[in-house]
Structure 1
Amino acid sequence: MSRPGKQRMGNGEAPHRARKRFGQNFLVDGNVIDRIVGAINPQPGELLVEIGPGKGALTARLADKAEHLRVIELDRDLVPWLKVQFEKHPDFELFQADALKFDFTTLMNDEQSLRIVGNLPYNISTPLIFHLLSYAGQVKDMHFMLQKEVVKRMAAGPGEKAYGRLGIMVQYDCQVEPLFEVPPGAFDPAPKVDSAVVRLTPHARRPFTATNRKTLSQLVNVAFQQRRKTLRNALKNLVEPEQLDQLPVDASLRPEALSLEDYVRLANAIDTLNSAS
């Protein structure tokens, strides 16, 4: 999100300027906040982690429902106020940190999987999602407010315009469930784009398993760098030309024609060929 503007933090505190470099747009619509909390439906004993609490509008509702609450805030100017607001919560901990670099394993224990929630800054949403996918095995679910187009890309399937690297890799790790759209007026300052809330639920068991996730990621990345060209152009950097006929897909197809299952099968075949050579 992008537009800066002065915000009052309530109870007579000094105004806080929404910072462009942090992508700050504060969620202020109580009905939207209620819908998000309702979708999360915190249960006793669960550990909730909020990324980018901002001025705490969503945090306050989560604190009413969650026994264990951790928040990660990059803006150091907001940290003292957030601590004062929520210090009375029985199990609240705030980390002044960059979520893109944060080690989420420090929050984990053997008894609780994480439930992660956040109104994510649009300017870092994609790299942050990829960072969080690396912890998918220790996460129960994730609920995010994102740019609507990003949610479309996450949920897209083969042949759709929005289909690409983000959707394939997110769907490899998680079930993607778009929940509802949110207009710009729900934020202060209002962004220039529509938003949407999405639920990501890591697979208990993946429907398709890559022998090497790194190979799958590399394959998908290379393929969609040239999405208007055939797969042959992407594959020539991953296997020898004479091996193309041994792959389980038609190399004359374009990248958007292949399903997640196709990409997993192709990545596994590439690994087999490379290990044999």
Structure 2
Amino acid sequence: MSEYQHRARKRFGQNFLHDAGVIHRILRAIHAREGERLLEIGPGQGALTEGLLSSGGQLDVIELDLDLIPILQGKFGHLANFRLNQGDALKFDFNRLEAAPHSLRVVGNLPYNISTPLIFHLLDNAPLIRDMHFMLQKEVVERLAAEPGGGDWGRLSIMVQYHCRVEHLFNVGPGAFNPPPKVDSAIVRLVPHDVLPFPAKDHLLLERVVREAFNQRRKTLRNTLKGLLSSAEIEAAGVDGSLRPEQLDLAAFVRLADQLAAQPKVQTQD
């Protein structure tokens, strides 16, 4: 219908999902149920929205593009389980949703240019979240799900896996979108841990250690971390200082961060 047409905008990184088979497969993976609290980030023209609403869940959506607001309201505004929040998801206060702890199920076909900062913003609100299903650039999903020892293992892998279990569900080709992006996409499921497998004494120090380690990922740890930890302190954490950061697993990075936390008057901010 013509009143529901909208041209995708480059500045918002919009690529609208239109492939019915892919839409059905995503909805099947989410498997939303009646009474659940759902949050869709960037609903676009509502490709996933309709299926999420038909589950009987209570759906909030966050949309930045003002031109899409009347389209979404025209399609779904009459439904009691639909609520539209206009704004930037990167700045959104998720406490506004008044969701119970570990209840919020987050869904989004995320613009590639904001996917990483948005995931970190959501992780700051992990106590509210039950799970997250995102369409992302395939290479981002590969980094999220990476294991130590490979080129994809880095800051994003470690900090997301610190908070969540990561599942790379399936890939999606460019033809599923309008306009088609120049890259392949993938669906990922992120499930916040009920109990952190490797809890750090200070997660801000963990972020700092990981960031410093991967700033020069080709160098050894004793070189990249020399501003934070001496060679002896690295060894005291049970880590070989001659290794490169990509060779360490999450548990080793947590030990390094805890070693740093044991120092007197350590600062969590640069």
TM-score (norm 1): 0.92
Moved more, 253-262 or 80-89: 80-89
Match of 2:132 in 1: 142
Structure 1 residues 42 and 195, CA gap change in structure 2 (3 angstroms): same
Aligned length: 267
Match of 1:3 in 2: none
Asked whether the equivalents of residues 106 and 131 of structure 2 are also in contact (C-alpha less than 8 Å), the reply is yes
Structure 1 residues 242 and 207, CA gap change in structure 2 (3 angstroms): closer
Q: Which amino acid aligns with 1:106?
A: R
Match of 2:119 in 1: 129
Counterpart-to-counterpart distance in 1, 2:5 and 2:99: 38
Q: Which amino acid aligns with 1:257?
A: Q
Q: CA deviation at 1:235?
A: 1.6
Moved more, 184-193 or 91-100: 91-100
1:34 to 20, 24, 45: 24
Match of 1:182 in 2: 172
Match of 1:44 in 2: 34
Asked whether the equivalents of residues 101 and 129 of structure 2 are also in contact (C-alpha less than 8 Å), the reply is no
Match of 1:236 in 2: 226
Asked whether the equivalents of residues 4 and 71 of structure 2 are also in contact (C-alpha less than 8 Å), the reply is no
Structure 1 residues 209 and 111, CA gap change in structure 2 (3 angstroms): closer
Counterpart-to-counterpart distance in 2, 1:112 and 1:256: 32
Q: CA deviation at 1:15?
A: 4.2
SS at match of 2:259: helix
Asked whether the equivalents of residues 18 and 25 of structure 1 are also in contact (C-alpha less than 8 Å), the reply is yes
Q: CA deviation at 1:14?
A: 6.8
Q: How does 1:1-277 map to 2 (within 5 A)?
A: 11-13=1-3, 15-110=5-100, 113-239=103-229, 243-275=233-265
Q: CA deviation at 1:241?
A: 6.3
Q: CA deviation at 1:238?
A: 1.3
Q: CA deviation at 1:110?
A: 3.2
Q: CA deviation at 1:108?
A: 2.9
SS at match of 2:95: helix
Asked whether the equivalents of residues 144 and 198 of structure 1 are also in contact (C-alpha less than 8 Å), the reply is yes
Measured against aligned partners, the alpha-carbon deviations of 1:107-165 in whole angstroms (never above 9, x if no partner) come to 13337710000000011111111111111111000000000000000010111111100
Which ranges of structure 2 fall in alignment gaps of 5 or more residues?
none
Counterpart-to-counterpart distance in 2, 1:112 and 1:168: 22
Counterpart-to-counterpart distance in 2, 1:200 and 1:130: 12
Asked whether the equivalents of residues 175 and 202 of structure 1 are also in contact (C-alpha less than 8 Å), the reply is yes
Counterpart-to-counterpart distance in 2, 1:110 and 1:131: 18
Measured against aligned partners, the alpha-carbon deviations of 1:78-122 in whole angstroms (never above 9, x if no partner) come to 001101211121221111111111111111333771000000001
Q: Which amino acid aligns with 2:22?
A: V
Q: Which amino acid aligns with 2:98?
A: M
Asked whether the equivalents of residues 223 and 231 of structure 1 are also in contact (C-alpha less than 8 Å), the reply is yes
Asked whether the equivalents of residues 47 and 66 of structure 1 are also in contact (C-alpha less than 8 Å), the reply is no
The sequence identity of aligned pairs, in percent, is: 58
Counterpart-to-counterpart distance in 2, 1:38 and 1:122: 23
Which ranges of structure 1 fall in alignment gaps of 5 or more residues?
1-10
Q: Which amino acid aligns with 2:238?
A: P
Q: Which amino acid aligns with 2:263?
A: L
Counterpart-to-counterpart distance in 2, 1:99 and 1:266: 33
Q: CA deviation at 1:274?
A: 3.6
Structure 1 residues 165 and 98, CA gap change in structure 2 (3 angstroms): same
Q: CA deviation at 1:245?
A: 4.5
